[in-house]
């Protein structure tokens, strides 16, 4: 085990077991991502406008008519909210908005969605999960003691978006995933979201009921939908000089949008997971990765990022309130939930998985240049 060390350029540290540093103490994330960040800074206004126009033309051509040009998942968070503005007001596309309700959305995010949909006069459909089934799946993951509990939400969001796209005969799914503010998340801090085999295996071991209504999505389905149904993803934030701070100011002014306090904290459970479960049980503070991305994007200083990392992720009163709320909503007593927190962590590899196939597929797609900067 290496001695504790913090990158001299960002705030990533040796809590990531796979991190490495050069002679100047700069981590491999900063070194490997520098070229892409520099390229993004050099985009001109005319180039951005031209790229967005060309992307819109391509999307409309691929769609070939109809009421909607694309599907857009809207969480009420910064990224997806700004994408709604881009797609409608800058690209002239007509999206079908999908609101994903897994029972954990915050009141702030719900209001943000309402404001944007009303202001842009958009059609919206809500994907409301069967709460008893989703709760059983979350409880199974907690009982399995694996790290990436949120992979189930990410997987189901993906599957639900594809399901709705096929129902409406839409080819393009638009996403707020972006390089500028989301790059450099350690592989040791996450699991492959598309690993439906791992999800089902964990539920078979620890689940109590059927989860047949949940739209779980695996890599074989992805391949079939991509190459036989022609469904693809578009990431418009990768075509612009995306700045999260500036985006938040714009959203506030344009849509009376409000911030919810942290990366992905538009979900009550995600906040609890990232700010309490991960650091307490797994020794992972995802703020370091999120702040490092903002630092590389020149939105904050290193001093400010370090100061933020030194702050508690939760104030004690709110933490105790959230513990009670989440344990009760999931059907645990506080003692039962604490017993789960006290279980030793287990790796996702402990349960059946198709991660090796997914990894090889990703390498192949990069080799064949299937995945481009903005389209996949």
- Percentage of residues in the chain having pLDDT higher than 90: 85
pLDDT value at residue 20: 97
Contact at 8 Å (CB) between 77 and 181? no
CB atoms closer than 10 angstroms to residue 181: 22
Q: Where would I find the H helices in the chain? A: 28-41, 45-63, 78-85, 107-120, 131-144, 151-167, 179-182, 196-206, 219-227, 244-255, 268-272, 287-296, 302-310, 316-330, 334-342, 355-367
Q: Is the dihedral of CA 13, 19, 21, 27 positive or negative?
A: negative
pLDDT of 355: 86
DSSP helix/strand/coil, 240: coil
* Order of strands across the sheet that contains 70-73: 123-128, 95-101, 70-73, 172-174, 232-234
Is the pLDDT at 112 greater than 90? The verdict is: yes
- Tell me if 244 sits within 8 A of 78, measured CB to CB: yes
226/336 Cα distance (integer angstroms) = 43
Mean pLDDT of 165-175: 97
Range(s) of the chain covered by CATH 3.40.50.620: 44-264+323-367
Sign, Cα dihedral of 364, 368, 374, 376: negative
In this structure, of 62-71, 205-214, 338-347, 360-369, the range with the lowest mean pLDDT score is 360-369
What span, in angstroms and rounded, lies between the C-alpha atoms of 88 and 81?
11
Structure tokens at 372: 């481009």
Confidence (pLDDT) at 166: 97
CB within 8 Å of 83: residues ≥ 6 apart: 72, 174, 175, 176, 236, 237
Who wins on pLDDT, 370 or 130?
130
Q: Among 242-251, 254-263, 319-328, whose mean pLDDT is lowest?
A: 254-263
Q: What does R_g of the chain's alpha carbons equal in angstroms? A: 21
Residue 211: pLDDT over 80: yes
For residue range 14-72, list pLDDT tens digits in order: 999 999 999 999 999 999 998 888 777 788 999 999 999 999 999 999 998 899 999 99
Distance CA 170, CA 152 (A): 24
Q: What rounded mean pLDDT belongs to the chain?
A: 93
- In CATH terms, the superfamily for domain 44-264+323-367 is HUPs (3.40.50.620)
The CA dihedral of 115, 116, 121, 126, to the nearest 10 degrees, is -90
User: Do the Cβ atoms of 126 and 157 come closer than 8 Å?
Assistant: no
Strands 232-234 and 95-101: unpaired
Please choose, from the candidates 211, 199, 203, 204, the residue with its C-alpha nearest in 3D space to the C-alpha of residue 133: 211
Summarize pLDDT for 270-319 with one digit per residue, the tens.
999 999 999 999 999 999 999 999 999 999 999 999 999 999 999 899 99
């Amino acid at each position: 085990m290496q001695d504790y060390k913090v990158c001299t350029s960002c705030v990533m540290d040796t809590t990531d077991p796979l991190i490495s540093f050069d002679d100047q103490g700069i981590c491999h994330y900063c070194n490997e991502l520098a070229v892409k960040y520099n390229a993004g800074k050099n985009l001109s206004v005319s180039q951005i406008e031209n790229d967005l126009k060309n992307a819109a033309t391509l999307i409309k051509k691929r769609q070939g008519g109809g009421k909607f040009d694309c599907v857009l998942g809207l969480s009420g968070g910064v990224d997806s909210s700004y994408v709604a503005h881009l797609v409608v007001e800058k690209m002239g596309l007509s999206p079908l908005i999908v609101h994903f309700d897994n029972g954990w959305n915050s009141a702030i995010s719900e209001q943000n969605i309402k404001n944007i949909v009303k202001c842009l006069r958009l059609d919206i459909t809500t994907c409301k999960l069967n709460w008893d089934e989703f709760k059983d799946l979350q409880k199974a993951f907690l009982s399995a003691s694996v790290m990436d509990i949120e992979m189930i939400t990410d997987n189901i969001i993906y599957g639900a978006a594809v399901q709705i796209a096929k129902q409406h005969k839409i080819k393009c799914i638009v996403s707020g995933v972006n390089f500028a503010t989301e790059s450099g998340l350690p592989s040791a801090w996450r699991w492959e979201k598309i690993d439906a085999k791992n999800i089902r295996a964990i539920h078979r071991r620890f689940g109590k009921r059927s989860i047949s209504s949940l739209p779980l999505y695996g890599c074989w389905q992805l391949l079939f939908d991509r190459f036989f149904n022609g469904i693809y993803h578009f990431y418009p934030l990768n075509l612009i000089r995306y700045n999260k701070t500036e985006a938040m100011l714009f959203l506030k002014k344009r849509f009376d949008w409000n911030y919810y306090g942290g990366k992905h904290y538009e979900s009550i459970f995600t906040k609890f997971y990232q700010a309490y479960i991960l650091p307490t049980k797994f020794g992972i503070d995802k703020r370091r990765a999120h702040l490092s991305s903002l630092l590389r994007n020149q939105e904050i200083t290193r001093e400010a990022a370090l100061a933020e990392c030194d702050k508690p992720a939760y104030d004690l009163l709110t933490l105790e309130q959230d513990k009670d709320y989440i344990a009760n909503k999931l059907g645990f007593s506080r003692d039962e939930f604490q017993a789960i927190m006290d279980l030793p962590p287990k790796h996702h590899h402990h349960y059946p998985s198709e991660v090796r196939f997914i990894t090889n597929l990703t390498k192949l797609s990069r080799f064949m240049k299937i995945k481009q900067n903005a389209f996949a």
